[in-house]
Amino acid sequence: MNEKKTINIDLKQYSMIIILVVVYLLFAVITKGMNMTPASVNNLVMQNSYVVILAVGMLLCCLTGNVDLSVGSTVAVAGAAAGIAIVDMGMPSPVAMIFGLLVGLGFGLFNGFFIAYVGIPPFITTLATMLMGRGLTYTVLAAQTKGPLPGSYTFLGSGFLPSIKIAGNIDLICCLVAAVVTALLILSELNGITTRKKYNFPAYPVWQLAVKDAVIIVIVWFFMLKLGANRGLPIVLIVMAALVGLYHYITTMTVAGRQVYAMGGNAKAAQLSGIDTKKVFFWVYTNMGVLAGLAGVVLSSRNASATPKAGDAFEMDAIASCYIGGAACAGGIGTIIGAVVGAFIMGTLNIGMTLMGLGTDAQKIVKGAVLLGAVTFDLVSKRKK
């Protein structure tokens, strides 16, 4: 009779989620629950939307062992282009949004060409693009703000799905979303158990799986109920969820995703194994430009205007989110989910410190310390291994 093999869940896989929960609860104690109000939870999602969008694209750059310093300027130029298209040219809002995305695509193609086919290091290329993009923003906007932008445009960054209230202040749509996520999580867990039994892999203890899933389900329902108690499900949250799902699939289930990881692990070995490293660099940075353009459209939509200062230091938030979320400095290690969790850790810090009354200078010190700590932890843990 074969003895049933079991293996404990590796908590390191969920360390960032645990840190996010701890940080959130810590600020809940410090601010006496102010960060847990429906309005604060809504702000966490809305104000963090651009960081999540940028972090999704930035992770691919980090996986190659590089970063993109131009995303903040690309956000500004894309938002400015969309604002000018509406205010000065009278374009319909959907066309203006596409115009903003095309501007981001142009910046991505520019970076990708010089990095992949001219051979200029990504740091230098994107630094140059950052400077040119910021100057271009001030030039096309003449250092002025374009706005106000119409409601047909601002719905993307500040709009909500229609709210259907039940049992007082509970939103039916948010409850349905939470129920679907719960069902998918349970089905995924059951499928994993069945697969492990089929191939005789060591099984996880049922109680550990139950605790893990219960924590995730509680988090999902908490945020959905809080959003429902405010104004319902934000449109931008749907956009973020779609992007996270798409890029999680790309990085885990496609050849293109595996090639990016291979390049970060050992670019020379990847090239010798037949991977076209130039093509990988090109699509990764072109993709980053498109997502930066989308972030620019979302930001200008939320602000209902396009400003020359838009996107200032956004690249730092995106890069920090990836490294806090577990991306390795040398590349080849990191996940989309980790980058998103890192972005929400940054967002939780921002909102928590704001509610505490800390100024922007102090907030930068704290965020810098958190980033340094995350990278130090990554390097020290690798040396021990």
Contact present, 338 and 317 (Cβ < 8 Å): no
Nearby residues of 195 by Cβ (< 8 Å), 6 or more positions away: 201
Tokens representing residue 82 in the block = 């969309």
150-208 pLDDT, tens per residue? 999 999 999 999 888 887 788 999 999 999 999 999 999 999 889 888 888 888 888 88
Euclidean distance between CA atoms 205 and 61, whole angstroms: 37
Q: Over 90: is that where the pLDDT of 305 sits?
A: yes
Euclidean distance between CA atoms 100 and 83, whole angstroms: 9
Point out which residues pair with 234 in neighbouring strands: 160
Euclidean distance between CA atoms 68 and 296, whole angstroms: 15
3-state secondary structure of 306: strand
Q: What is the mean pLDDT of the chain?
A: 90
93-131 pLDDT, tens per residue? 999 999 999 999 999 999 999 999 999 999 999 999 999
What would the mean pLDDT of 308-321 be, rounded to a whole number? 91
Burial class (CB in 10 A: 0-12, 13-18, 19+), 340: buried
What is the model's pLDDT at position 1?
41
Euclidean distance between CA atoms 39 and 229, whole angstroms: 9
Angle at 377 between CA 375 and CA 380, to 5 degrees: 110
Burial class (CB in 10 A: 0-12, 13-18, 19+), 361: exposed
Q: Over 50: is that where the pLDDT of 251 sits?
A: yes
What is the model's pLDDT at position 83?
95
Q: Over 50: is that where the pLDDT of 296 sits?
A: yes
What would the mean pLDDT of 306-314 be, rounded to a whole number? 90
Q: Which own/partner contact pairs does 377-385 have at CB distance under 8 Å and 24+ positions apart?
A: 378/323, 378/326, 378/328, 378/329, 379/329, 382/328
What is the model's pLDDT at position 368?
86
